[in-house]
Amino acid sequence: MPRRRHAVTVRAVRQVFPTDSGAADLDPVDLVHDDVRQTDGTRPWVLMNMIASADGATAVDGTSGGLGGDADRRLLGTLRGLADVILVGAGTARAENYRAPRTPDDRVGVLRATSGRPPRPRLALVSASLALDPTALMFRPVDPADPPPLIYTATGAPSDRRQALARVAEVVAAGDGDRVDVGMVMADLSARGVGVVLAEGGPSLNHQLVAAGLVDEVNLTISPLLVAGTARRILSGPALTAPAGLRLDRVLTADGFLFCRYLTA
């Protein structure tokens, strides 16, 4: 599950891989915003961001909040600050009580402003059934001038739910019957000029994105906890036709957490 969202102040992290960074303590804002994220132009760059315990659990008592900490939330704020769109499945949005994306703090907000991007990322939800509450916090904008959230659904979604949600969001058909096509989602986002999508789960949506070959980067936080139980992994679904290869690009650490950045092989 994605980690919880709070206003935090960025502090230094230590890079443990590769070891030739030239500095023991680094500002994650510099690292994350200096990374090159560019595709062939046919779709946005997709960055999948998740947290898991040392034994692979993605939640404690049903949400990811118990796995996180200040260092984790600081890095999440930095990652969110570089995204044009935050993409999340409806089930995760409900379980984690999502809110509309906030204005990034400090230098992250300045970097957005100087790059000519809107002050906040846009929220995009994936829901084939449209089982979403139009009064939920995620549909309350930070500023009335902000564009409403996007909701990607399928043609078989109930018309009454579509009409109710159309008052607080832009509802887009991206799939026939009862299944959303994530390829169509990315095509629509690309047509809107979106450059970077931050995918925050849940595991079923992650599986669809990976299976479709749409993930370019995986940021995985490993929490210094053991949870046990039967919690799902960061991907949930049938076995992939072939394992998706990853290349380890960077490992940071702070407060006992490991922050691993992988690029697709």
pLDDT, tens digit, 9 for 90 and up, residues 69-84:
898 888 998 999 889 9
pLDDT of res. 21: 58
CA dihedral 1, 24, 263, 222 (to 10 degrees): -20
Q: Which residues of the chain have pLDDT under 50?
A: 1-10
pLDDT of res. 5: 40
Q: Rounded to two decimals, what is the model's pTM? A: 0.92
Instruction: Give the architecture (CATH level 2) of 43-58+65-225+250-264.
Output: 3-Layer(aba) Sandwich (3.40)
| Helix/strand/coil for 164 | helix
pLDDT of res. 22: 56
Asked if residues 29 and 9 have their Cβ atoms less than 8 Å apart, the reply is no
Q: What is the pLDDT of residues 27-69, one digit of tens each?
A: 888 888 889 899 999 999 999 999 999 999 998 888 888 898 8
Residue 25, burial from CB neighbour count under 10 angstroms (0-12, 13-18, 19+): exposed
Q: Which two tokens stand for residue 138?
A: 């995620």
